Amino acid sequence: MASQVLVAANRGPLSYVLDDDGALTARRGGGGLVSGLSAALARQPEALWICAALSDADREAVRRGVSEPGVRMLDIDPTTYDDAYNGIANSVLWFTHHHLYDVPREPVFDARFRRQWEAYAAYNHAFAVALAEEAGEGAVVLVQDYHLALVPGELRALRPDLKIGHFTHTPWASPDFLGMLPDDIRSQLVWGMLGADRLGFHTRAWAGEFVRGADRDDARGCADPFWPSDSSPGVHHRPMGPDGRLGERRTTDVGAYPLGVDGDDLRALAHRPVVDDKLAALRAEVGDRAAIVRVDRTELSKNVLRGLLAYRELLISHPEWRERVVHLASAYPSRQDLEVYRAYTQSVRDLAAEINAEFGTPEWQPVLVSVEDDFARSLAAYRMADVALVNPVRDGMNLVAKEIPVVSEAGCALVLSTGAGAYEELREDALTVNPYDVTATAEALHAALSMPADERLERTKRLAAAATALPPAAWFTAQLDALRDA
Ligand code: G6P
């Protein structure tokens, strides 16, 4: 049956595991996009979520016809998928939007890159075709993230009747970084995005980067950005068709929808018995010391190394904290197919071990690093956090900065990077830091640890209120409504 609301994202709400006896079991997918969208779509029972098969077990499920209601997985040839996901999405677009390149050596746009780009285009095309098949007349389609930047343009060509939105969960690259992409590739990217009626970003800053970048790109779109009012900036353009001719003048609206957390859902999750057990175990390890908590994916942009350097500097410049504080650093394994991610994760472990060797005593281990997929342990750490450290170099939103104040029991001081999307909403009650400035981060940790308990509690309440201002369901409906009115 044709759907009236469709979502397309690389990662689906679940993925499969193949047991030794050949049985398939569905497991919940991970990451901010999946948790936000799953919560939103729980209230949209008619919606269809189109996603990629991520593993052999997922592909096996598609072949056997195993599926869950409201989900369609696309079985994309594994080499094409690997080139699109690891090659382009995670090694080029992710690095461009997060400004992660080691510029004397990277990026290199060569023949291999060109082959991978073909795969990225084919993978986007597969999504566009599936959406065109499944969507009812005039349906609303919400395409998610940098994996699927070409889908809006492709889908518009196939189905001009649809209302097409695209939401970017990452930052958008500054015009200088976007300008590193080869001209024809950058034009395709901007053309793909401008196929949407409406583009959503987490912050006004990222929306602004998109509009400025589109302005500089005239190869296929004749962009002409405008910001008529605070609420509805957009881009005027005349998209070029496959025949190379300029089409009719159109407007793509660009808006900020800062995804927040659902306070009730999160508190309920954080008070399950499994979390109580993890909390008791962590408390036993930390004792009555203060806890500095961070939770990330094993991700380069999260800046875990400079966070550890700042913690080391704190122990040197403010030795009064020695033996009185523990740093709990948890990371979910992510993108371990990429060598640079494996190496980064190893560097984190090595630096933590160095700090423990330098300052540790028989009674005190200064840093506890855990690299595992354990959400219950993270929630337990949130509950006992005295200080939350969120210092990414650049981050679309960073939901951890919003989750910790909601769950924290005694109030928690938030040290927050100016590079996180969450900075736009949380800056007044956080201790904000330039993520490259290790000394400033160490001083912010000291200020956070020294903050009087009543001030900490007051700030935490205001942070929690800001964090829950636009929970996933409202975030999603705001975009649906804006698209329906488009
Ligand atoms: C970021 C991206 C999401 C992605 C998540 C996890 O938040 O914006 O699209 O789902 O990271 O990354 P992964 O590569 O594991 O899907």
CA of 155 to the centre of ligand 1 (A): 23
Same domain? 313 vs 253: no
Atom of ligand 1 nearest to the CA of 9: 9
Residue 420 has phi, psi (to 5 degrees) of: -85, 140
Atom of ligand 1 nearest to the CA of 144: 9
Same domain? 28 vs 64: yes
Same domain? 301 vs 443: yes
The pTM of this model reads 0.96
Name which of 37-46, 117-126, 425-434 the model is least confident about: 37-46
Same domain? 463 vs 479: no
pLDDT (tens digit, 9 = 90+) per residue, 437-485? Answer: 999 999 999 999 999 999 999 999 999 999 999 999 999 999 999 999 8
CA of 373 to the centre of ligand 1 (A): 14
Say if residues 442 and 387 touch (Cβ distance below 8 Å). no
Residue nearest to atom 16 of ligand 1 (CA): 11
Same domain? 238 vs 289: no
Evaluate: CB of 383 within 6 angstroms of ligand 1: no
Evaluate: CB of 313 within 6 angstroms of ligand 1: no
pLDDT (tens digit, 9 = 90+) per residue, 367-397? Answer: 999 999 899 999 999 999 999 999 999 999 9
Say if residues 214 and 225 touch (Cβ distance below 8 Å). yes
How far apart are the C-alpha atoms of 252 and 332, rounded to whole Å? Answer: 36
Same domain? 216 vs 296: no
Same domain? 295 vs 238: no
Name which of 58-72, 211-225, 424-438 the model is least confident about: 211-225
Domain span at residue 99 reads 3-259+472-484
Domain with residue 175: its CATH number is: 3.40.50.2000
Same domain? 250 vs 327: no
pLDDT (tens digit, 9 = 90+) per residue, 410-426? Answer: 999 999 999 999 999 99
Lay out the sheet containing 198-201: strands in order across: 71-74, 48-52, 3-8, 135-144, 163-168, 198-201, 250-256, 234-237, 224-226
Evaluate: CB of 11 within 6 angstroms of ligand 1: yes
CA of 333 to the centre of ligand 1 (A): 12
The dihedral through the CA atoms of 342, 347, 352, 357 has a sign that is: positive
Please report which confidence band the pLDDT of residue 39 belongs to, taking 50, 70 and 90 as the band edges.
confident
Same domain? 186 vs 64: yes
Same domain? 237 vs 267: no
How far apart are the C-alpha atoms of 224 and 234, rounded to whole Å? Answer: 9
**What rounded mean pLDDT belongs to the chain?**
94
Same domain? 277 vs 345: yes
Region 359-373 average pLDDT: 96
Same domain? 477 vs 454: no
Evaluate: CB of 334 within 6 angstroms of ligand 1: yes
Evaluate: CB of 96 within 6 angstroms of ligand 1: no
Residue nearest to atom 12 of ligand 1 (CA): 31
Q: Which is more confidently placed, 68 or 86?
A: 86
pLDDT (tens digit, 9 = 90+) per residue, 212-236? Answer: 888 766 545 556 666 655 556 788 8
H or E, element range at 71: strand 71-74
Number of separate domains in the chain: 2
